[in-house]
């Protein structure tokens, strides 16, 4: 195999693997959690605004969510992302063996902003890192341990990403993007970012005039606007928030079916 291939590691953050949104609600607004966890509208929501369930506004939730910690993780539930990671790793394992496309493969789990114990502080200290590795092996079918990293968004620079990753599952893509400098000079077209299609607060959306100035129709969706603006620099794919939420197998199967049908229609037929 050629060493000249691209790095093929998969990146996933802990907020993608676990539904820490439900964890935050469960910890601070338990009555709202009880409503959301059984309501399909939660899994198909467009914003982290929970007023429809008698809960916090988007701003109130964001303030509390920014303070999430290990206790939040303890109240959180596994999402559908580990299954997506499994599929991605299987594809890249095959490509690594059969083609010179990748120079290296592996899985990195970013635990930031959480501080997990590694068991090296004494016999009474929990080994949360090993527990995370074990859980990930169970849910994703991995045969080897993932790498555990802790990097804030500002240190996930375009240069670092291009040196290591092919695919990134990033829950808060918008936050990462806001902390990057010089991204327009860094071409990342061969790198795919997967993120939920959640919208920012109402006041942060572009106006019809701003959309027109960007060459988009006034009725264009915010998702289309972001994807269009970034298509020259990286490959951003928005997924339904259900994939990043407590796994609902029937709903996920429906969404995967819709996605496969859409992809088959986009694939040109050969004579």
Of 152-156, 185-189, 255-259, the range with the lowest mean pLDDT is: 255-259
What's the gap between Cα 223 and its chain centre? 15
Q: For residues 82 and 63, what is the distance between their CA atoms, to the nearest angstrom?
A: 27
pLDDT band at 271 (very low <50, low <70, confident <90, very high): very low
Q: What residue segments make up the domains of the chain, in order of their start?
A: 6-19+77-266
Total-model pTM: 0.83
Residue 19's contacts (CB-CB under 8 Å, 6 or more residues apart) are 76, 77, 78, 79, 244, 245, 246
pLDDT band at 270 (very low <50, low <70, confident <90, very high): very low
129-151: per-residue pLDDT in tens? Answer: 988 988 888 877 777 789 999 99
* For the chain, percent of residues with pLDDT exceeding 90: 46
Convert the pLDDT of each residue in 91-140 to its tens digit.
777 766 666 666 667 899 999 999 998 866 555 556 889 889 888 888 77
Average pLDDT for 44-54 = 95
Average of per-residue pLDDT values in the chain: 82
Residue 8: count of CB within 10 angstroms of its CB? 22
Mean pLDDT of 144-166: 92
């Amino acid at each position: 195999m050629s060493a000249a291939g691209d790095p093929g590691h998969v990146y996933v953050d802990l907020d993608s693997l676990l539904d820490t949104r439900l964890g935050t609600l469960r910890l601070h607004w338990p009555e709202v959690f009880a409503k959301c966890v059984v309501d399909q509208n939660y899994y198909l929501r467009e914003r982290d605004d929970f007023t429809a369930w008698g809960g916090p506004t988007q701003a109130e939730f964001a303030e509390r969510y920014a303070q999430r910690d290990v206790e939040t993780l303890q109240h959180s539930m596994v999402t559908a992302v580990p299954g997506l990671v499994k599929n991605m790793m299987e594809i890249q394992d095959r490509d690594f063996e059969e083609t010179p496309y990748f120079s290296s493969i592996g899985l990195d789990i970013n635990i930031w902003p959480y501080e997990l114990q590694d068991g090296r502080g004494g016999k009474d200290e929990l080994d949360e890192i090993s527990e995370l590795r074990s859980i990930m092996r169970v849910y994703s079918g991995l045969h080897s341990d993932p790498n555990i990293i802790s990097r804030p968004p500002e240190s996930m620079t375009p240069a670092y990403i291009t040196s290591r990753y092919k695919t990134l599952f990033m829950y808060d893509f918008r936050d990462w993007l806001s902390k990057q400098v010089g991204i327009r000079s860094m071409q990342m077209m061969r790198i795919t970012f997967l993120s939920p299609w959640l919208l920012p607060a109402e006041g942060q959306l572009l106006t019809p005039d701003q959309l027109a100035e960007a060459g988009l129709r006034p009725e264009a969706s915010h998702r289309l606007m972001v994807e269009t603006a970034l298509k020259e620099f990286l490959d951003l794919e928005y997924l339904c928030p259900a994939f990043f939420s407590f796994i609902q197998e029937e709903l996920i199967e429906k969404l995967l079916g819709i996605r496969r049908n859409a992809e088959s229609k986009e694939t040109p037929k050969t004579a």
